[in-house]
Every structure is written in structure tokens, then in C-alpha cells.
Chains A and B, each alone.
Chain A
Amino acid sequence: MHFRPILLGAAASALCATAAFAERGSDGQLNILYWQAVSIMTPYLSNGTKDVEAASLVLEPLARFDEKGDMVPYLAQEIPTLENGGVSEDLTTITWKLKEGLLWSDGTPVTAEDAVFSWQYCTHPEGGCAQSPNYGDVTNVEAVDPQTIKVTFGGPRPYPYGPFVGAQSPVIQKAQFANCLGANAPTCTEANTKPIGTGPFKVVDFKANDVVVLDVNPNYRDPVKPAFANVILKGGGDPASAARSVLETGEFDYAWNPQVEPEILAQMLAAGKGELVSAFGTLVERILVNQTDPDPALGDERSTTKHPHPFLTDPNVSKALSLAIDREILVETGYGEAGRVTCNLVPAPEINASKNNDWCKKQDMAQAAKLLDDAGWTMGSDGVRAKDGKRLSVLYQTSTNSVRQAAQALVKQWWNELGVEVELRNIDAAVFFGADPGSPDTLQKFYADIEMFANNFDGTDPEKYLGDWICAEIPRPETQWQGGNHPRMCSEEYDELHAQLGRVAGAEKRAEIAIKLNDMIVNSGSFIPLVHRGRVSAKSNALGGVIMNPWDSELWNAADWHRVQ
């Protein structure tokens, strides 16, 4: 047995060589805390960010977005484009090629059939798939060969990266979900909570709304990753204590979204155990200005285009309202690291962000007052401006949420100073965002003059998002009060330009149109941008490799996370 020591020596030197890169599973346990506990591990049936992000540790799409909003191939070999022939000349098909030798965590090969099945699963009419908009307009997905997936659209799609891109539309295993199509989807508890995936980790234990335990996926395509051997994804509690567990007690490595008042976070950061990481996507806290009359006396016709608003259709008024707001203070008091001033509807990515509206960045009371004076709105004896018997008096509604109520109070103060009477109202979030056509208090019905909330879009392409502002999208009784054009802005010019966006390919040309559309909305008087809101999470100093990503799951590169000493 003379060769035994030699073999051991060889093995030891081999280990030393890879140790420099940190080998798979060498860094022990990673503790992640989501104060909104994870309910389910399939984004297709999920109710929100927490579930989509938890699932991203296990399930992967063909390509993800990186922190700059650029696409990175994950299961695919490369990103198909017009140039490399992956996107057809007529813009109606896109063809993806899978990487060689991909395996599911159970050891079976990943094939194009799995992607075809993922599409069938999500578009089944009885399935109630939450992510079906990602497959909107897809007429067929076929497996050309085991490595090649061809997606066909109903018409030309200048931006064909909806299906199988990003955390919302991953590829699921056909063998595991085969019996879970349509109405059977909820009955597959095992598959829904412990999906077999291709990501760096696999689920070993799942306690709904409590904790998920994950281990290294032995078949992960990169043999030296991930550095962590297992992950505990704990849920529950409140944002403040989540932040505390990373920044003060150090029990956890990463806490998602510590939505706490900036000064409390600053105190916790003083303990020196961790830091905040933030990144800005497309979420914008905004004020919408109703272009139609919400007067209750109009009965069924209130807040419909039959009755234009008596004074908010005057662009001078909404411009003055916008100028009177000190956005810096809104950011400081409500968002801290998680917010910055914006004057746009589409604030990111960089290429799509307009620089033409920067007048709103600084509060200018004098200018605002002058605008109203010039437009004939004179100050009355009661401190409220009026013109032709119409008083500037508005009802300002939003959802119940302490940050929003604080912002409402500040805005009210500024507007009162300007000579506008403001009545505040807040509505339970479940009702306000509930879109129930029977309720008078939804944001779509807009039975108020002013409303405030935040909205964003998935991915980096704003076409669909900007499509919310065309005339046809105005919520009205005929559409059961559905539609994305909440302030009821309507301009033919806008509709035409938006239609043009649907025909133009190429990032630069699309950005040019997107900026024009954005500027039309900002100057239409129906939209007042407030705060560009980012994602913030807390991470321990002992955790390395975290790159905050606003365009995909925050845990998108968990395979690269590692322990730092």
C-alpha cells in the first residue's frame, strides 16, 4: 500500500488548489430572513415578491436580468437577437438554445419539452397562473430538438423577451408537474412547495408561511458553486426586527426589505455588523390627477370621460401642484436609502430615463403661485384660490400605510400654502388595490380628485407599461372599471406614438420613443411623479457576493454568495 500516501497527497493538493476559489458547500449555512413569509415555491401560483424570490433559488429561467438591466443567459447558451439569427426577421419568433448537459436536481436531463410544458402550465385557462402576462400573445412554443425551444408570437414582437426571461417565468420540470395542469394546480402540494429545479439549491423542507430549508443542488451546472452548503429562509415578524436580526444581533446574514423609518435604520447600522444594499428599478411613487369629475352628484357618470374635471384639466393647476412639492423632504422622511427624487414615469433603465423634466426636482413655491395667478386663480378671503366660482378644493386619497399618510400630510401643508384646500382620505390597501368593481373606493374608480400610490413594470422594456396611458385603457363602467389609465388622460397623438413603439425594434430607437411618451405623460397634467423607489435589503458584513438587482430576483446570484471573514 505504498501508493496510498501519494494518493492522499495528490487529493490534498487538489483540494488546496480549489480552496482558493472556495469549493461547493464549503461556507456552511446561509440565513436569510423575509419578514413576509414564503407561502409557496412556484412563481406561477404565487402571490408576490417573497414567493417569486424564494423560488428563484431553485427554479431558473432561460435568461435573467443583471443589476444593470442587461440580459444574462442562464439555462440558454446565449441571448437570441436579430443579429445572431435567434429572432426571426419578421419579429414573430424567437429561438433559444439550451446549454449542454443541464440536469435537474433529481439527475434527469433538462430538455426543450420542459420549457414547452412550462408554457402550457401557465397558459392553461383553469390554472389561474399569476404570470400569464409573460406569455401574452404567444401562440406556440415548440421543441425543435431536445436543446432548441422556438417561441412563436401572434404578431411581430420587437421585444420578444417576455417568456422564460426573469424570475417570473422560469422553466419547471414536466415530469414533476405533469398532473398539475389547470384545475389540478393547487392539489399538487408536493410539487408546489418542493419544485425540482436547476438552480444552486434544492428544497429539503418547506413549512408554509414559516421556513424553507434548502441544500446544495448536487447537479448544479457550475461544479464549484454555490459556496454555501445550505440555506435557511425564515419568514414572519415585522420589518424592524428583521433589520435588527442582521444589523444588531447578527443572527441572520440577509434581511429582505427592511421598511423602517430611516432614522431607526441609522441607529441599527451604528452597531457596525452589517450594511444596507439598494438598487433602483422602475417603481415610482406618484400622484395621479383625475381628469374627470368625481362629483357624487353625477351618480353613475361620476369619474367618467362624459364630465371633464372642472379645474384639474387646466395644466397650469397640476404643474403648480407639482412645483409646490418638496420631493427631497418626502424622500428623507419616508424612504431614506430606498428613495430618490424623480420627475419621470419611466425612471430606469438609464437609456429610457428622460432628462427633460428636471424642473420638478426643486420646490418652487413662488413659481407655482405665479402660475396660478397668471391663469386667473386668485386667492380668496378664506385662503383658497378660486376662478369663476370654482374653488381649488381637492379630495386626496391613498392606501393606508404610515409612510403614505406622512407624505399626504406634508403635501397637504404645501398645497394649503399655495391656496389649495385639501381633504385627506386613506383606504385599506386590500380595498384600494382590490379592483372590485362593486366597491367605490378602488384606485380604478378614482372617486377623488387626487390619488397616490406606486407602480412599476416587470423587466426593462416599458412598452406595455406606457400602453396603460392610451385612451382605450380608461377604466369605465363598460369595462367593469378595469384599465390602467387611472387619471383618464386621452390624447390621440400619444396613442399614435405608442402604436409606433409596437413596430420599432432596436434598443436605441425604442428608448427615443419611450422618452417622448414619458414626457407627454409628465406634461399632460394628469401625472405628478414623486419618488423613485428602490429595493433595499440589509446584509451582514460576513456575507460577500451580494449584488442588489432591481430587475430580477434579489437572490438572482445566490450561487456566487460566500462567507467573508
Chain B
Amino acid sequence: MFAYTIRRLLFAIPTLIVISFIIFALLDLSPGDPTSNLPLTIPAEVREQIRVSLGLGEPFHVRYLKWMQQFFVNEPLNVIEGLTGWTIGDGDRMRVISWQTRSPVVDLIVQRLPQTLWVVGLSYIVSVLIAIPIGVVSAYKQYSWFDQFGTLFSMIGFSVPTFFMGLVLIVIFSVKLQWLPSIYDTNLRVTDLQTFWMQVKQMIMPVTVLALFNASQISRFMRASMLDNLSQDYARTARAKGMSERVVVLVHVLRNSLIPVVTVIALGIPHIFGGAIITEQIFRVNGLGQLLITGIQGADLPLVQTLTFIFAVLIVLFNLIADILYGLLDPRIRYE
């Protein structure tokens, strides 16, 4: 298992290098220009000067290698310096600079991460907590009214797009009832009960929208997996041994059915970091998803390249984690 993990990790390196090249090349070839959003009153010579000052004057391979150096060497060194307080070298390194904000991309990401983790991460936890019981009960009492209701719930959650659901919630709870704020305040610091309550209030709607969407997916996986296992021989054996239904369902069947679901959940985690672009935009949570979308709109290539590459790293990493988890949970599958 250990050897397998090491092998997979080593194999991830060339994969990521290829991915970084593809991302860089694709974005570079795509139409769009950071100066195209400037008003038409700005003359062509000035646009050209701006382009050169952004480093666009250099050929593709030079820019790619520069970005590689900035991302793989300079930025990690900066993080180490920040964490330990050491000074490595002269401390003056070229960082990946966003064109739009002229500030280091990594700082922007660090600034955005808390909102995204709070809102999107919490919604993911909530959805897992809702989805697993629903899946279990739905499968155990297949075709009961609860199962029918669960199916309806997941159909709604899955088929109603988040932008519509978000808008409906805003119209009901912000416009009509005026209970909840429609705009997320990223400056709010939780210091006492009152600010905590404000934080809860502003998180309710975005978390609900996202949780509903995720829960509907996971609950279907859970239900299917439970149904598979409930009809297995070992479940019958357990019952024949005289075990209580509680033990049969919650200990024997549930544990086994969780194996594929855990994989699905692990594979979904990188999406948390990707943020929920649309939901963040609707509620103005302004996390990583909104950062990515403003970067794309402003043709801010360094920002988009760095963000998409970080997402790629996370996806590769969590694929690996999911595979390893699978091996740990199910002794029949061991990669040796």
C-alpha cells in the first residue's frame, strides 16, 4: 500500500506538469486581451504599453517558464518564509501578479479561502449529514412514502438550478419577509453572540442552496448502494444469526454501503475549493468561485492560470486519496 502510494505520488508529478502546460497554452491561445475592457477612449499605443508592462511582450515559452518558476519555487518559498519567519535568499522574488488587481495571486487566494471554506465547505458537510440518513431510510423502506418523498426531494434538488433556487430564496426571505440579508458581508468578524447570529443568518441561504444540490446527489448514491447490499448473502446471514435489524442495517450493511459513497464524497471535495461559482455570485459571497469568474471576465491570465492549476492539483490529489481510502475501507481491494 505504501509503495503504491509513493508510486502514485511520483506519477502525479509528470501528470501535473502536462496539465500545467495544457492550461497555460489553452488560456494563452484563447481570444481575449486584458486591455479589451478598457474604455475605447484609451488609444492603441497606451494599450500596447500596458500589455508590455504586464509582461505580454515576451514569447510564450519564456512566460511559461517564468510562471513555473514563480509558482513552483518563489511562491512556496514565500509561504515557508511567512510560516517560519526565516529569510531565504534576499527575500525579493517575482511573484505571480494578477493583472487586474496588480497584487500577488496567492494573497488573493488566501484572502478568499475562508469564505469559500465556510460557505461551500459547510454546505458540503450539511449535505452529507442530510443525504446519508435519507439514503439509508429510503433504501430500507423502498417504495414507502418516505422513499417517494426522498426521491421527489432529490429530483427537485438535482433539477432546479442553483441560480433559480437562490433567486427564489432571496425573493421570499430577503424581499418579502426581510428576514435574511441577500448580500454576504465578508468583513463580518464573529466576536460575540450577536455577530455569530448575523454570520449564521447570512450563511443560511447560500448553504441551503448548495446543500440541497449536493444532498440530492449523494442521497441517491447512498440509496443505490444500500439497496445493493441489503440483498446480499451476508445480510441474510446476519439476520439468520438472529441479529437485530438495527445491527444488521446500521453495522453490517451501512458500513459496506458507505465504501463507494465515501469515494464519491472524497472526489467531490476539490469542488469545494473551486467554490460554487454561481451561488457565490448570487449571494456575493466573493470566494474563490467569484475570484475565478472576475479573472476570466477581465482576461486576467495569471490569476486564471494559477487558480485552475491549483484546482487541477486538488483533483489529482483527491483522486489519489479516494483510491487509497477505498483500499483502506475494503480489504479485498489492495493495490500491491
Contact = CB atoms under 8 A, between A and B. Distances in A.
A207 B186 contact: yes
B125 interface: no
Interface stretch (A140-148, A215-223, A431-439, A487-495): A431-439
Contacts of B100: 39-40, 47, 208-209
A193 B170 contact: no
Contacts of B51: 128
Could you say which interface size class chain A belongs to? 35 or more
A245 B102 contact: no
B193 interface: no
Interface string B16-55: 0000000000000001111111111111111101111110
Q: What is the interface residue range for chain B against chain A?
A: 35 or more
Contacts of A155: none
B299 interface: yes
Given A241-B182, A252-B183, A439-B31, A433 B52 contact: no
B282 interface: yes
A213 B49 contact: no
B114 to A, nearest CB: 11
B39 A48 contact: yes
Interface stretch (A97-105, A181-189, A326-334): A181-189
Interface in B281-298: 281-282, 284, 286, 290-291, 294, 298
B286 A210 contact: yes
Contacts of B38: 47-48, 130
Contacts, number: 167
Interface stretch (A108-116, A228-236, A355-363, A500-508): A228-236
A39 B298 contact: yes
A209 B187 contact: no
Nearest to A268: B175
Interface string B292-329: 00100011000000000000000000000000000000
Interface stretch (A7-15, A20-28, A157-165, A452-460): A452-460
A210 to B, nearest CB: 4
A186 B290 contact: no
A57 interface: no
B178 interface: yes
The B interface, classified by DSSP as helix, strand, loop or mixed, is: loop
B49 A132 contact: yes
A189 B282 CA distance: 29
Nearest to A482: B44
B49 A125 contact: yes
Contacts of B98: 208
Contacts of B40: 433, 453, 455-456
B186 A132 contact: no
Contacts of B97: 186-187
Interface in A418-443: 428-431, 433-436, 439
Contacts of A457: 41
A430 B183 contact: no
Nearest to B47: A435
B268 interface: no
A210 B185 CA distance: 10
A429 B298 CA distance: 11
B182 A45 contact: no
Given A45-B102, A130-B42, A208-B103, A234 B183 contact: yes
B260 interface: no
Question: Among the interface residues B42, B44, B51, B281, which one has the most CB atoms of the partner chain A within 10 A?
Answer: B44
Given A40-B100, A47-B100, A248-B175, A431 B36 contact: yes
B44 A435 contact: yes
Contacts of A480: 44
B310 to A, nearest CB: 17
A428 B39 contact: no
B101 interface: yes
Contact of A237 (B45, B101, B178, B282): B282
A251 B201 CA distance: 14
For A45, A210, A245, A453, the residue with the greatest tally of chain B CB atoms inside 10 Å of its CB is A210
A133 interface: yes
Contacts of A186: 53, 97, 102-103
Contact of B187 (A211, A434, A436): A211
A251 B46 contact: no
B102 A433 contact: no
A197 interface: no
Contacts of A238: 281-282
Contacts of B178: 249
A530 B55 CA distance: 39
A211 B185 CA distance: 9
A45 B42 CA distance: 13
A82 to B, nearest CB: 27
B42 A133 contact: yes
A562 B82 CA distance: 43
B322 to A, nearest CB: 33
B162 to A, nearest CB: 14
A127 interface: yes
Nearest to A427: B31
Given A192-B103, A232-B187, A209 B291 contact: yes
A49 interface: yes
Contact of B31 (A133, A211, A251, A434): A434
Contacts of B112: 210
Contacts of B47: 435
A126 B101 contact: no
B298 A47 contact: yes
A289 B232 CA distance: 75
Interface in B99-119: 100-104, 107-108, 111-112
Given A244-B175, A456-B41, A209 B36 contact: no
| Most chain B beta-carbon neighbours within 10 Å: one of A127, A237, A431 | A237
A482 B47 CA distance: 11
A39 B36 CA distance: 16
Contacts of B290: 209-210, 236
B42 to A, nearest CB: 6
Contacts of A251: 174, 181-183
A183 B49 CA distance: 11
Interface in A236-289: 236-238, 241, 244-245, 248-249, 251-252, 271
A37 B103 contact: no
Nearest to B290: A236
A242 B290 CA distance: 16
B102 A189 contact: yes
Contact of B50 (A49, A128, A428, A484): A128
B325 to A, nearest CB: 35
A314 interface: no
Given A40-B101, A128-B52, A208-B103, A434 B183 contact: no
Contacts of A435: 33, 35-36, 44, 47
A241 B169 CA distance: 13
Q: Which 9 A-B pairs have the closest CB atoms?
A: A128-B53, A482-B44, A208-B101, A430-B32, A434-B36, A186-B102, A210-B286, A128-B50, A434-B33
28 contacts: A37-B294, A39-B100, A127-B49, A130-B38, A183-B53, A186-B102, A189-B103, A208-B100, A209-B100, A209-B108, A209-B294, A210-B112, A234-B183, A244-B175, A245-B182, A248-B175, A249-B175, A249-B181, A251-B174, A251-B181, A271-B175, A428-B32, A430-B36, A431-B36, A433-B36, A456-B39, A457-B41, A482-B44
Given A130-B46, A209-B286, A234-B284, 9 more contacts: A40-B103, A127-B53, A129-B46, A185-B53, A189-B102, A209-B294, A251-B174, A434-B35, A435-B47
